Amino acid sequence: MQKIIKIRNLDCAACAAELSEELNGLEGISDAAADFINQRVSLCYTSQEALDKALYAIAHFEEVEIVDGAPQKKERHLKEIISIAVSAAFFVPALVCDLLGLNEWLVFGLFFASFAAAGWSVIWKTLHFRGLSSFFDENFLMTVASVAAFAIRESMEGAAVMLLYQIGELLQSLAVGSSRGEIKKLLEMKSDSAILLEGENQREVSPDDLKVGDVILIRKGDKVPVDCTLIDGAASLDTKSLTGEAYLKEVEAGAELLSGCVNAGNAVKARVLRLSSDSAVAKILNMVENSSAKKAKPEKFITKFARIYTPVVVLLALVIALVPPLFQGFNFTTWIVPAIEFLVISCPCALIISVPLTYFSGVGALARHGILTKGAVYLDELAKVKVAAFDKTGTLTEGRFSVVKVNGGERALLLAACAEKASSHPLAQAFAGVETDLRAECVEEISGMGLCAKIDGREVLVGSLRLMRERGIPAEPVETLSSVVYVAEDGNLLGSVEIEDKIRQEAHSALQEIKSCGVERTAVLTGDSRARAEKVLKGLPVDEIHADLLPEEKPKYARGLKARGKLLYVGDGVNDTPVMAESDVSAAMGALGSDAAIEASDFVLASDSLSVLPKAIKGAKKTRKIVAENIVFSISVKVALMVVSVVGVAIGGAFSLPIWAAVFGDVGVMLLAVLNSMRMRAKIRA
């Protein structure tokens, strides 16, 4: 069994790692993961007893509180601000007294009061021993640095270390909270209430209480509470929160209204199509909230790196403090400061926090453009794409077919319409407006070729020329570049229906922009004939077309394309599951109501527009670039400061660092890395 537990007051990424390790050690708990950014814990448990143990462990971990099922409180940081203010109130007069050369014990007392005001919570966390794995954290490093500074009578340094550390922690917390707030804005898409119509009466209910088939009233300015179907009239929908597109969408009776849209027109009635838990908004929020579970390689590396790195640097600090004095007349005092600085500088918080925060911000930035991703790992894959392959129908074309010609009489059209009404294939939409009293039974879909059904007790085949020939029905190809649906009854060909589709308006510009993003080659994989495919795709910047493909044949061609570089496949997410699984990364066009679109793809383009695909690629590349910048910057600055600290003392103190500079090497670098991560919040331009 699986559970997501919402929490608050999980202060840092290192604490999250400790909590995860503690939970995974409990009997009956597996795959436990504490998420510092999302403030939640996900875990798999085998029994209620195991879950109770996990809840107890979470509730008793430092200051963490469980808020599952309760509204999240806004982070005020009042306690931290008061601590910093009180500490500063002692630090400033202490500094003035020190500069004026006043009583040494007065100066020491004021600096110590400043240290105590800022550092009491840090010291408490250090003394709250939970095992060696949790001991060597940033609280331990700061406590050692400040206490050691007081021990060698550098009281100003000791107070400054703790005050600067707390200021940096507050700024980092505000920055992370701001980025977290960007994701929380997505929750505003979810409606808190719905108006249920019961005859002539109206009743306000929770969207969770609505059942399929219920009739609801959506007033002007209301959010659509659940996926529903417009009963009558017309509606004007603001879809910006859902798709990222600013224009209003005009829909007629019978159209599907996705939850999260806002009714910008007159009040309308609609019939509930899906439960609240299955609606578009629920799927969007689920994808975004769970995206942090699938970590990218840099995230996994940083987590493993920190576990090995911290004990190693503690050992190196001991070596620095103890070994050189053995060759310098046992002068331990000289080497204590660089050892402390080495410890402080080495803290890996900048990487532990900034790397997952960048990916988290990247997922949120794409979501604001209507691009939904299942995890950070897919952003990494998308950033490295060199080849993009597309399905034709419903992807490069609108997928809105219409009948243009009937060959063989009206019965062929009526039989085709009767059978196709039971199909979800895009071609079936062409027959939606054909009225018929016929009823189809035992409808069977023949993959990639068509349908077989019983109509009026007779076997009817509706599909491609290949289907007719495989069933031994004599049929000649119709000379046309339109798509042709052949119709046979009891083994005899009745006729055919010609239908056409239009290329998407944005297809040409989107394909050009994709190439400008570093994609070297584009291809189309389609079941259409080559002649029809070339006619429809004429003028598009497509490098190669593979036609006459059955769904099971597409993966073979995808493997060939993968040999040229990372492969992105874009399809409708329903009939393209095999090739999506074969590709390195995949995207589904819209279809938020379709479970297949969500399950099969790594990305969903909620706007159902190719124009956002270049934004997705640019966003993925920007995310990866910022992650690389943070890793290189953090490690470079830390290594440089470590070298200056140690080498400076070795050559007589010519380049020795004050301890506050070491604090900058920890807190300052962490803050700069976090601020750099927040650049992902800037608009992604296609």
Q: Could you give the residue numbers annotated as active site?
A: 391
Instruction: Indicate the residue type of 362.
Output: G
Whole-angstrom Cα distance, residue 244 to residue 239?
7
Beta-strand ranges (E) seen in 213-316 are 215-218, 228-230, 234-238, 248-252, 256-257, 262-263, 268-272
Q: Give the orientation angle of helix 332-346 with respect to helix 297-326, to 10 degrees.
A: 180
Q: Which two tokens stand for residue 270?
A: 């609609």
Beta strands across the sheet bearing 40-45: 29-35, 40-45, 2-8, 65-66
- In terms of Cα–Cα distance, which of 73, 76, 69, 59 is closest to 6? 69
Beta strands across the sheet bearing 248-252: 248-252, 234-238, 262-263
- In terms of Cα–Cα distance, which of 583, 570, 585 is closest to 395? 570
Find tokens 């080498």 and name the residue: 647
Measured distance between the N- and C-terminal CA atoms of the chain, rounded to whole angstroms: 42
Find tokens 């060698």 and name the residue: 152
Whole-angstrom Cα distance, residue 256 to residue 253?
9
Secondary structure tally for the chain: helices H, strands E: 23, 26
Whole-angstrom Cα distance, residue 472 to residue 401?
28
Instruction: Indicate the residue type of 492.
Output: N
Whole-angstrom Cα distance, residue 595 to residue 606?
13
Helical (H) or strand (E) element with 605 = strand 603-605
CA distances from 634 to 354, 367, 526, 637, 669 (A): 10, 28, 48, 6, 6
Cα torsion 97, 103, 108, 109: sign: negative
Find tokens 């995310």 and name the residue: 623
Find tokens 């070596």 and name the residue: 319
Q: Which two tokens stand for residue 469?
A: 């020939």
Whole-angstrom Cα distance, residue 199 to residue 145?
73
CA distances from 558 to 167, 392, 447, 576, 617 (A): 53, 15, 19, 11, 20
Contact 603, 378 (CB under 8 A): yes
Burial class (CB in 10 A: 0-12, 13-18, 19+), 445: middle
Whole-angstrom Cα distance, residue 261 to residue 282?
13
Ordered alpha helix ranges (H), 537-576? 554-562
Whole-angstrom Cα distance, residue 382 to residue 291?
15
Q: Which two tokens stand for residue 531?
A: 């002649």
Contact 633, 673 (CB under 8 A): yes
